[in-house]
Structure 1
Amino acid sequence: MKQKFDLLPLLLSFHLTVFVGLSFSAVTDLSVEFRKGKTFITWTEDADSTKTYNLYRSDEPITGLSGLSPIVNLPCNTGWDPRHRVRLNIIDLGPQLSDSTGLFVYTPRVDETAYYAITVVTAEGVEDTLLTSGVNTISSPISEEYWPNPWGVIKSESTSWDHTFKLIFWMDYFDWPHKQNLYYDYVGVNINRNIPVGQPAPLMIGLHGWGPYTWNTSGDTLLDTLYPPSFGTNNMVQLTPQDNYYPERNSAWWYGVSNHYGDSTALDGSHPVRAGDTIVDYVAQRIVRCIRWVMADSRFQVDTNRVYLTGVSMGGGGTLTIGWHYPDIFAAISPAIARVIYSSSAFSARYGTREMALTARNGKDVYDWQSIPWLSLNCRTTEFPPIVNMNGSKDGLHPMCQHTLLYQTMTETKRGIWAEWRNVDHVSSGYGAVVPGGYSRFVKNELYPAFSNGTNDDNYGEINPLTNYSDDYATNPVGLSYDSAGIMNGYIDWTSKLHDMGLENDDIVDNEDSISITLKSDSSNTTVDITPRRVQNFPVVPGTTYKWESIDVLTGNSVASGTVLPDPYNLITIENFSISRTGNRLIITYDSLATRLSSAHAVNNNIMLSISPNPFNPATTITIHIPDHMFTKLQVYDVNGKPVKSLFAGITRNGNHSVHWDGRDNDGKTAGNGLYIIKLSAGDKVFAAKAVLMR
């Protein structure tokens, strides 16, 4: 008689053995929330620290993993910051994440809805694909938005000194070389207690010098010492970021590293650059994103026209590069003992050798892109913030020749610079105000006079040719001669919105009819070339003749006059203008036949032309108002008067009309950065307005 064999107990035993051997424990408590440009994803991790987590994202409900790939595989303990040894928080002033909570912060790049799911993976690489709605997959979509400037989270606040906040800011994980560095960091913001609530205040960003900062730190209380108030007790908002990106070299010099940083490691622990790498300004991007967040967040009450950047030594170099790579943000920048030229002899480990010809993300040679003299000469139509500079003529680290090149090119390009150099080495103290009223006198939306070729400037030396960048300028060239100490333009003062010289009727004027600037000199027999910069309202049209006049403030008499044409870069410069100790008023007017032009709009005889947004990227809308039926033509010109794009020509009915310009020319090619003139011909009238394309 045959014995019956029951397979069921054996099969149950086999399945139990398999699942116990794999030791799965499904991830739980998946939570997804979008806030202010970021999607915060948290979950409860498994107790086994060797396991990792696959995160999935889809535009459809995730009920199974067939056809899906994880957007990222994450280790355990992602809610923990190993550098500062603290738990993160994802809600303003909210609790820290628990020890068992994992975290990923996603940065949407478009407006869309998304579903998320997460699974656990064993150390052997086996994934638990079981999905349970409300446990490790969400059943309702999350509405996500693209924010050009996302916000972060306030970690903590203190009122022990003034009102100090510690912020956490996340970059886009997928645009970040995170193999060696985390995609988030901290920044400190201090609001001086003397600022009335609700009153906008200037924002001051300070960049520290070279050295190790946060890599060997421990303890939550350390965050209280990382970001102390650093600018005294002036009525301002202060932001103090950290450059701790490049641990084996202490810093990234406020710029960035190779896009392949961390892919390979040398024996000395460094991450050498390779042929074809792109040197990306990761650190600068992070700082700028934080700045834009603080500017936009009403809790910090920032006057967005008064944002200033300053720094010492390495921070001075970062002040120059960040200030000029992101010129739309800053009213003025003030570097001290800064590096001006990034020599390959000192920076080949970061940027490669000159022969490797590595580029920044915009395709420019990285050494050129880091050079302020190069930017000044090669980006002539860009309105960079004025520079208030201090350096030592005996500086062996950042030698005088680099500053000579800076002063020469700023003069050549008629840009705003005020400078003092002292007969010292790499020392940042002991300098004067450099510019009368200090660099916080500048306002981003106010005209200021740029001075060049002043007769009372001290000798800062001369380097020829200016366009020779084959020399790294790591040391002073043989034969370079200059005064051991001196100033540039600091002896000339003028009245502006925030700095009154106390003279009668000396307010600065910038309207559709004229420019008026009252100036005086601390030195005798001062003559200087004056170029109005950041003109807001006065029409500057290529090929138009302008009149200028000098009025003696003491007597009210006209002492000089003349005419001037805009240069090829659409700048008006009054050469050899004499300024007395008692003051002279410069008045510039346009010819009566000149085209009426304003920075954003033109209105006359009930005809209106406006542009918004302006500046724009990549497109803008031109709105016109026509009072009667008439023939109209709308065209775009560059600053040299060359036609770029014909937008419309034909009979227009009365009323408002809008025309879209996509930033392309008549051939469909993308127009470059810079200033453009939108010209409206309506009947026998001609109007124009300036538009700035800033990609």
Structure 2
Amino acid sequence: LFVATTLVNGSYYYAVTTLINNIENLTIVSGTNSLANAVSETVSKPMPVLQEIRTISNLPIEIYTSFISSKFAADQPLMLKAGFVAVDFSVNRNNASGSNPLRIYFHSGGKDYLESIQKLDGDEVRVNIEDNFPDRTLNSAWWGSNPEYDIYKTTNNVVAPTTGINNNYSQQRVNDIIDWAINQLPIDSNRIYINATSRGSGPAFIYAITYPERIAAVKVNGGIFDFGFYNDWQSTCTLNPEKKNRVEADLRYGTVATNLMCNLGIRTYEALNGGWMIHEYPTRDYPFIYSNNGKMDDVVGWTEKTIFYDSLNRNHLGGYFFWDNRDHGGNTGQTWDNSNFDLYRFRRNVSFPAFAFCSLNEDFGNGNGLTGEDHGTINGALNWSDNIIDNAQTWQIKVFVRNLLDKNDNIIVYPDSCTADVTPRRLQNFPATPDSTLYWQVIHLGQTVQSGSINYQGVLIVIPQVKIFRDTSTLILSTSSQQNYYLDSDSDGFGDPLTFMQASSQPAGYVSSNTDCNDQNSQVHPAAPDICNGIDDNCNGVVDDKAPNAIITPSGSISVCKGTVITLTAGTGPEWQYQWKKGSNNIAGATASSYSTTKTESGSFSVVITAAGGCSATSAATTITRMSLPAAIITSLGNLDICSSGQVTLQATSGSGYKYQWQKNSVNISGATNQNYVATAVGSYKVIVTGSNGCKKTSTVIKVTKSCKLAEAGEVNESEISFFPNPNNGTFDIVLKNFDEENFGTLSIFDLSGRMVYQQQIEISGGEFSRKIKLSDKLGDGVFLVEFITNESKHQQMMVVSK
């Protein structure tokens, strides 16, 4: 198949010649190897020719051949030695019948135009474009070549060209195929996308930078941003001097040092440098670009990526750029896949935000793959809602922080807020007139958190370091200084803080206040009275302001010993009324702010508090569990009258984990902590038993006596008798201490002749007794014996009376 087209309208004859041993036979025989009659031609590009419909994975795949001429215009220098080049592409229509998205795929190295043609995303139409030359070892990198480049025989390309104008004929072929697809396929011209992996990624990116107005968005993996860079940190990088891809590029375009001019009017390695292009032409209609690259990629390198990352920030190119420690094939070190990007959300006729200098961006290092973070992203943690307002007065967008997924669907969490420059890209209706003032503000939760103005000079609109929150910031750019007005759906004079518009005067249905918390209920607004209805009537953030706060102290679950009274206390407030409950039942008469249980009461206790106006609240229940007391009984293992034995063993009740403390006359006996205690003196004995749960019980008193005689000297001193003053005038106070808790005795006073001058029966309660005594006024001065006798002991002490 031979296809050619004229560059000038006219009538033409065509002939075929042969080459034998590289010598062309120019003999022309009319009607044999040439046309007998001229063909009338007009200038027009040759259309792709359908070659076949091939079935792949049960899908009909159309295969076309497109053609590149040696020139595109009569006065143009020769683009390549071949008269024309036939290059194939394939189409998967995906049964499309309407305005479907078109994805153009640049195949990877070693593959061809049928690579993955059967794999589709949703309702897309897919076109795969070939880039292999007749000599299958050669390609144009979907760009073009020098006119001296021999596309038929690689061995003829041995010296890098130093003259001539390089031509991007392969990029123009892509343009032609897009034009054909718009006319021949059921696609939406605003939804044309480019996708590539490996060898096709760099060319796909360069095409989108060169012809940005044709593409809605780009997705590339493992690509190149600057084809002229040759100093990668890995010496084995194929773009470094004398390496495979650098040698091929030198033969195809000339060396970087020579940097020949190209048909675009700039030098070749400027056209092949994305960072240079976006710097020189910052206002072009660039599509959104998604890219994934590896720091350990020695095929297309890493160092030049970091230079481009700096450039995209400084020139506000829109996109998401990810990196990790992967090699070229993603066999090792991969963190990211493509799950954080939706190619098809973008359209050529819809604006989007280009982020730059985001404070969440990780450190990609200095170009050496061993520096910086192992993985990270430029702008990938930022997102926006697609309902963008883009009209003659306003550009408004909602932006927010998002988390990301790694290749295993693990969530990588980012902080809740950040700052970033925001540049509107692909503005449709918002006017950007040079030397005009634009006004901007950032609204978060209904409040303006930033605002400013921009003196627009006709380059890019850059809104600096916008505060972006996870729960959304609304960025508003306007042509005049305007006020926010808020939708007042319920006409109560207060607006919805999240639904607003900017205007120079108040629009109908809008108000300046943004403090309504329910714009669908006219009875709810900041000026409304609060009533007990389970609603925040006055928008102060509190439901039922007057409702009591029903909290019990102590709270939760508590365990106490039987015999302990527990007092539960509730909060107090003006005119509060109380009803205590046990379980679900009211406790009769328990209507105070506190409630005291009995010594044995257990269960769940709560309180219902009712405030003035009828608001009531029920507390959480406090659950009381009662623990059993240990047994505390003393058993005498002998006669309690120790007259003959001199001692008796007292034994307390035994139990698992029991602890003991013996007392005599209500005083702890030092060291007496065993189950048994040997009493050797008269007195009142008891024991305090502590169970394993910590609960204590005190036994009843058991008395040890000695009937054979009065208390011995050592015993007398165990209890105390005192009186004061001494000497006295016949009137004094007497004090008895450390006696049995309940006891009786006789108090007698004798003169030195043995005559009794005073006697009284005394009842001792609680182990102590005190009283004022007045002797007879007739009693003279002298020394007297004071004696106190119980059935267990005898106490004597001398007293002086002096009147």
TM-score range, shorter chain: 0.5 to 0.7
2:64 matched residue in structure 1: 167
Give the equivalent residue in structure 2 for 1:153. 49
Counterpart among 391, 398, 401 of residue 511 in structure 1: 391
Indicate which of 449, 454, 465 corresponds to 1:576.
Answer: 465
1:155: how far off?
A: 1.8
Would you say how many aligned residue pairs link Structure 1 and Structure 2?
Answer: 441
1:409-437: CA deviations, max 9, x gaps?
Answer: 01101110211111221134866576855
Deviations 1:583-609 (A, max 9, x none): 11111111279xxxxxxxxxxxxxxxx
Measure, in 1, the Cα distance between the counterparts of 2:317 and 2:298. 27
1:586 aligns with 2:475: yes
Asked if the contact 1:264/1:271 (under 8 Å) is kept, the reply is no
Mark the runs of 5 or more structure 1 residues left unpaired by the alignment: 1-78, 80-103, 215-224, 463-475, 497-506, 594-695
Change (3 A) 1:122 1:171: closer
| Cα distance change of structure 1 residues 126 and 258 upon mapping to structure 2, 3 Å threshold | closer
Distance in 2, matches of 1:495 and 1:246, equals: 48
Q: Distance in 2 between matches of 1:486 and 1:120?
A: 60
Paired residues of 1:551 and 1:559 also in contact (CA < 8 A)? yes
User: Equivalent of 2:422, from 530, 546, 569?
Assistant: 530
Partner in structure 2 of residue 286 of structure 1? 173
Q: In the TM superposition, what whole-angstrom CA distance separates every residue of 1:172-227 from its partner, at most 9, and x where no partner exists?
A: 2446766569511210011223x4x2x1111111112223x57xxxxxxxxxx945
1:277 aligns to 2:173 (yes or no):
no
Match of 1:492 in 2: 382
Question: 1:444 — aligned with what?
Answer: 348
Instruction: Supply the AA of the counterpart residue of 2:3.
Output: V
Alignment match of 1:357 (pick from 232, 256, 259): 259
Q: Verify the 8 A CA contact 2:59 2:118 in the aligned structure 1.
A: no
Separation in 1 of the partners of 2:131 and 2:350?
32
Give 1:513 shift.
Answer: 1.3
In structure 1, what is the Cα distance between the partners aligned to 2:134 and 2:309?
31
Alpha carbons of 1:568 and 1:539: their partners in 2 closer, same or farther (altered >3 Å)? closer
Write the mapping of 1:88-127 to structure 2, written as runs, cut at 5 A.
104-109=2-7, 112-116=9-13, 118=15, 125=25, 127=27
Structure 1 residue 143: deviation in Å? 5.5
Counterpart-to-counterpart distance in 1, 2:3 and 2:84? 12
| Match status 1:307 vs 2:205 | no
Higher relative contact order (CA 8 A, sep 6+): 1
Deviation at 1:295, TM superposition (A): 2.0
CA distance in 2 between counterparts of 1:239 and 1:361 reads 26
**Counterparts of 2:136 and 2:4 in 1: how far apart (Å)?**
28
Q: How much does 1:348 deviate?
A: 2.3
**What does residue 420 of structure 1 align with?**
322
Conservation of the 8 A alpha-carbon contact between 2:222 and 2:328: yes
Matched, 1:385 2:281: no
Report which of the two structures shows the higher radius of gyration computed on alpha carbons.
2
SS of aligned partner of 2:475: strand
Instruction: Tell me which residue corresponds to 1:368.
Output: 270
- How far the C-alpha of 1:255 sits from its partner, in A, is 2.1
Structure 1 or 2: larger helix share? 1
Q: Does structure 2 conserve the Cα–Cα contact (< 8 Å) formed by 1:190 and 1:229? A: yes
Change (3 A) 1:226 1:386: closer
Tell me the CA shift for residue 239 of structure 1: 0.9
| Equivalent residue, structure 2, for 1:202 | 101
- Aligned residue number for residue 550 of structure 1: 442
User: 1:179 and 1:548, CA in 2 relative to 1: closer, same or farther beyond 3 A?
Assistant: closer
> Which of 146, 160, 165 is 1:258 aligned to?
146
User: CA-atom RMSD, angstroms?
Assistant: 3.2
| Alignment-mate amino acid for residue 297 of structure 2 | D
**Structure 2: distance between partners of 1:126 and 1:312:** 46
Find the aligned partners of 2:180 and 2:335 in 1 and give their Cα distance.
33
* In 2: Cα distance, 1:275 partner to 1:511 partner: 51
Residues 594-673 of structure 1 mapped to structure 2, 5 A cutoff = none
1:419–1:434: 8 Å Cα contact kept in structure 2?
no
Instruction: Output the CA distance in 1 between the equivalents of 2:16 and 2:102.
Output: 44
* SS at structure 1 position matched to 2:361: coil
CA spacing shift, 1:271–1:255, aligned 2, 3 Å: farther
Using the alignment, how far apart are the partners of 2:260 and 2:26 within structure 1?
Answer: 41
Name the TM-score, length of structure 2 as normaliser: 0.51
User: Which amino acid is the alignment partner of residue 371 of structure 2?
Assistant: S
Report Cα offsets for 1:10-56 as digits up to 9, x if no partner.
xxxxxxxxxxxxxxxxxxxxxxxxxxxxxxxxxxxxxxxxxxxxxxx
Q: Is 1:239 aligned to residue 143 of structure 2?
A: no
Shift, 1:444, TM fit: 0.7
Distance 1:122 1:512 in 2: 65
Opposite residue 124 of structure 2, the aligned amino acid is M
Task: Determine the structure 2 residue equivalent to 1:689.
Answer: none
Residues 143/286 of structure 1: CA separation in 2 closer, same or farther (3 Å cut): closer
Q: Decide whether the 8 Å contact of 2:81 with 2:148 is kept in 1.
A: no
* Structure-2 residue corresponding to 1:395: 297
Q: Residues 126, 420 of structure 1: CA spacing in aligned structure 2 closer, same or farther, 3 A cutoff?
A: closer
Please tell me whether the aligned partners of residues 414 and 452 of structure 1 are also in contact (alpha carbons under 8 angstroms).
yes
| C-alpha distance in structure 2 between counterparts of 1:349 and 1:291, whole Å | 29
CA distance in 2, matches of 1:410, 1:246: 37
User: Cα distance 1:394–1:181, how it changes in 2: closer, same or farther (>3 A)?
Assistant: farther
